[in-house]
Structure 1
Amino acid sequence: MTAVRALSLAVACLAATPAFALDQGDYRFNGFGTLGFTHLGGEEDGRSYGIQGQTNDSWRGDQLSKFGAQFSYGLTDTLGVTVQATAKAEQDEWKANLEWAYLSWQADDNLMLRGGRLRSPVFMYSETLDVGYTYPWLRLPDEVYSLVQLTSYEGADAVYTLPLSYGSVTFQLAGGQAKDRDYYAYDDLHDMDYKDIFGASVSLASNDYGTLRVGYVEAALDSLIQGYVPSIDQTLPWLELRGAKGKFTSVGYQYDNGAWLTANEWVRRVIEGDGQQAIDAFYLMGGRRFGDFLAHLTYAQLDEQDGRQNSWTAGLNYQLRSTVVLKGEYKRVDTSGGSDGVFTRNAQEVFDNAMGAAPTRNYDGDIVSVGVDFVF
């Protein structure tokens, strides 16, 4: 089996698309995971990096490593159930997570309706967010994938796929809510409620020219983000959101002909009442296969009100087996204009910067990651 066919199989089995509805009594079980380690060096001055600040100057596996399984069962020829669970680290503690748990109804050859716990339809790789085998990187571009931390919600969606002579077009509508979700900010976890979630996307998949996806998601956000400041022995509120509208727009394109591949995504996030302007981010990736090797290069950029983070990532993958790939990456990250980017500040640093006791500064670093992605 070639790497491209194995990749297609992994995506098909783990993305739960309408084309793979099961007959009555049939079932499908798949496992997946990543065993990876990452290290931050350079001039980061002891500051950590990443969506939950798990990347630092020690070789750590909790930023990248994760394991999961998915089970689907056909209750009837049109009605099925799917459950997906993962085990991964949340800051310094490993936890089990129920990512998917839904009923699906194949209304006809084109339309599927689903209800229960579903993946948030935010990014191009949202459906296979934890299945590292389905994308070329060990770590998805942080500049884009750090902007929305919600990965699942409770609600329903409708997925309609229309076959075309040159491919297919898929429409998705989603709605629901997500209560008491963890949100990482200022080196700590906070509670976030996402109410009145609405999402819509359209994907055009061509036989010869890749896939183009456009998506939009909005939600009403409730949260109180605060932090303990040791120097004054007080807990201070940094941001309070009460029904604030959060809006997220994304445009993505990917192409893979077996030799050359590319993946690109642009996103914009707006949160009303957070005191910040819109945040824009994007990445551009190109890669080339040489037998069992894949070399790829990615440029990513995050623009926020206070400045910019940009990075270059060079990676080399080796196909150990049809469903196992060894990956190595080097990422150079720079910030400018006073932006934190995806580097983390704790509550004491935020307080010192606000009071003028310490000036804000820019950080940079070199991130090395190595690991193995697998599916079965």
Structure 2
Amino acid sequence: MRLHPRCLSLSILAGLSVLAPSAFAADGNDIFSFSGYGTVGVVHSSEHQADFGAPMAPDGAGHTDRWSTTPDSRLAAQVNANFTENFSAVVQAVSEYDSERSYAPDLTLAHVRYAFTPALAVRAGRIVAPTFMLSEYRRVGYAMPWVRPPVEVYNTAISLDGAELSYKFNVGESTAVTLQLVAGEADEKVFELHDTIGLLGRVEFGSSTVFAGYNETKLSLADDPQLEYLLSLYGPIAPELASNYHLKDNDVTFAALGYAYDPGKWFFRSEITRLAGEEGMLAHTTNMYASVGMRVGAFTPYATFGKVNVDSPITVGAADPIGVINGILANGNEARQSLTLGARWDVRESVALKLEASHVDSDAGSNGGLTNLQPGFRPGGSYNLVSASVDFVF
């Protein structure tokens, strides 16, 4: 088991906490407030020829470490500034394992917000792309019942550099509607998004919440000179493949639909997403999960079913004269289904302990969502995960 102490480094807290105690308005009211959250997590995978890792991480539990802290552990610090009743700002830094095998703190939020009216507001700067129902707090383990949000759907966390216009209104006395228009770009190291635009809506009525969203973007994969050279070989011998399979400016669409019912003593939550676009490197997938749980005092047992369908070709067969594109398509096959049983224990206010076990069955030829595949890995198999975490907020 390899531990990474920097995961719990207080370096980001040290810098931001200096601001909070000394920043007061002239009338004695706080302008700045300081808060944070974190998770100390560990996961074991039964698959020793590949790794279960955090989104976009190159390794994790399984082959690299039988027990790993990297998929779920993180520490975050946030400073909020309320300059006036209408004008505010927020800065958040998160230390978590990333695609470069580093825990270097990343600036995940850095934006200003201005409310023209109680209903109409704009945010500009670095914001969380509101792709999913739980996007705003997908990293905040304490805010969710699970050890991690279902990875079949929550397979990425994107910070968007751009702007968001939101409008809230009521329909009748019991229905609240929020509409969001977002635009911007993102650099997530392993890929970049450009010309991103999205329209999202949330409707809350009674104990129910309905979420829907649609996004369009241009996706470019990180520079890979070796892969670029291999793809360049297709030009003279397979021009159609060369025009479809490229690393830059792939048109991508993403749609999401979610529903949650939470009357208090129990909850049900489900989301389904669809990733599509032009034929190319990125697999087109339909992803979903459904989760139900019951609150019994300080305990919340739950069960979650997840599924990933790959809706685009996983091979072009003999049309590939070199084999590189077939290899890329096979590597993008993450089709699978999973069943997770777990429980949350609210040990005290602001601290929760969680334990869960998952069984994952991969479709034929699928890597099951695993990474760092070794020569002995056999696609289409199954594996088990055992996970535990301590979530906290402050």
| Structure 2 residue 216 is the aligned partner of structure 1 residue 218 | yes
- Give the aligned partner of residue 370 of structure 1: 388
Give CA-to-partner distance per residue, 1:43-69, whole Å, 9 cap, x none: x24211233232225211111000112
What is the CA-CA distance between 1:163 and the residue it aligns to?
Answer: 2.8
Which one has the largest radius of gyration?
2
Whole-angstrom distance in 2 between the partners of 1:182 and 1:276: 16
| Structure 2 residue 52 is the aligned partner of structure 1 residue 49 | yes
| Structure 2 residue 150 is the aligned partner of structure 1 residue 141 | yes
What is the CA-CA distance between 1:277 and the residue it aligns to?
Answer: 5.8
Give CA-to-partner distance per residue, 1:227-263, whole Å, 9 cap, x none: 979xxxx985596332211111001112222211111
Whole-angstrom distance in 2 between the partners of 1:276 and 1:270: 8
Whole-angstrom distance in 2 between the partners of 1:360 and 1:271: 29
- Give the aligned partner of residue 343 of structure 1: 370
Correspondences of 1:230-249 after superposition (within 5 Å): 236=230, 240-249=246-255
- Give the aligned partner of residue 361 of structure 1: 379
- For the Cα contact (< 8 Å) 1:214–1:250, is it kept in 2? yes
- For the Cα contact (< 8 Å) 1:302–1:341, is it kept in 2? no
Whole-angstrom distance in 2 between the partners of 1:205 and 1:312: 28
TM-score by length of 1: 0.81
Aligned match for 1:270, one of 252, 268, 276: 276
- For the Cα contact (< 8 Å) 2:52–2:71, is it kept in 1? no
What is the CA-CA distance between 1:81 and the residue it aligns to?
Answer: 1.1
* Aligned partner of residue 127 in structure 1, secondary structure: helix
- For the Cα contact (< 8 Å) 2:44–2:68, is it kept in 1? yes
- Give the aligned partner of residue 205 of structure 1: 204
Whole-angstrom distance in 1 between the partners of 2:298 and 2:377: 49
- Give the aligned partner of residue 180 of structure 2: 172
- Give the aligned partner of residue 17 of structure 2: none
Whole-angstrom distance in 1 between the partners of 2:85 and 2:177: 24
- Give the aligned partner of residue 33 of structure 2: 28
- Give the aligned partner of residue 302 of structure 2: 296
Query: Which amino acid is 1:109 matched to?
Result: P
Q: Which moved more, 1:47-56 or 1:129-138?
A: 47-56
- For the Cα contact (< 8 Å) 1:286–1:296, is it kept in 2? yes
What is the CA-CA distance between 1:225 and the residue it aligns to?
Answer: 6.2
What is the CA-CA distance between 1:271 and the residue it aligns to?
Answer: 3.6
Structure 2: gaps of 5 or more residues: 1-24, 233-244, 315-332
| Percent identical residues | 29
Whole-angstrom distance in 2 between the partners of 1:271 and 1:260: 38
Whole-angstrom distance in 2 between the partners of 1:195 and 1:235: 24
- For the Cα contact (< 8 Å) 1:143–1:341, is it kept in 2? no
What is the CA-CA distance between 1:170 and the residue it aligns to?
Answer: 0.4
Aligned match for 2:164, one of 127, 150, 157: 157
- Give the aligned partner of residue 138 of structure 2: 129
Whole-angstrom distance in 1 between the partners of 2:94 and 2:288: 27
TM-score by length of 2: 0.77
What is the CA-CA distance between 1:77 and the residue it aligns to?
Answer: 2.2
Tell me which stretches of 4 or more aligned residues in structure 1 moved more than 6 Å: none
Whole-angstrom distance in 1 between the partners of 2:186 and 2:88: 23
- Give the aligned partner of residue 14 of structure 1: none
Query: Which amino acid is 2:211 matched to?
Result: R
Query: Which amino acid is 1:372 matched to?
Result: V
| Structure 2 residue 115 is the aligned partner of structure 1 residue 106 | yes
* Aligned partner of residue 93 in structure 1, secondary structure: coil
Whole-angstrom distance in 1 between the partners of 2:94 and 2:261: 28
* Aligned partner of residue 273 in structure 2, secondary structure: strand
Structure 1: gaps of 5 or more residues: 1-21, 184-191, 350-357
The answer to which structure has the higher strand fraction is 1
What is the CA-CA distance between 1:284 and the residue it aligns to?
Answer: 0.4
Query: Which amino acid is 2:117 matched to?
Result: D
- Give the aligned partner of residue 194 of structure 2: 195
Whole-angstrom distance in 2 between the partners of 1:286 and 1:362: 28
Whole-angstrom distance in 2 between the partners of 1:336 and 1:127: 31
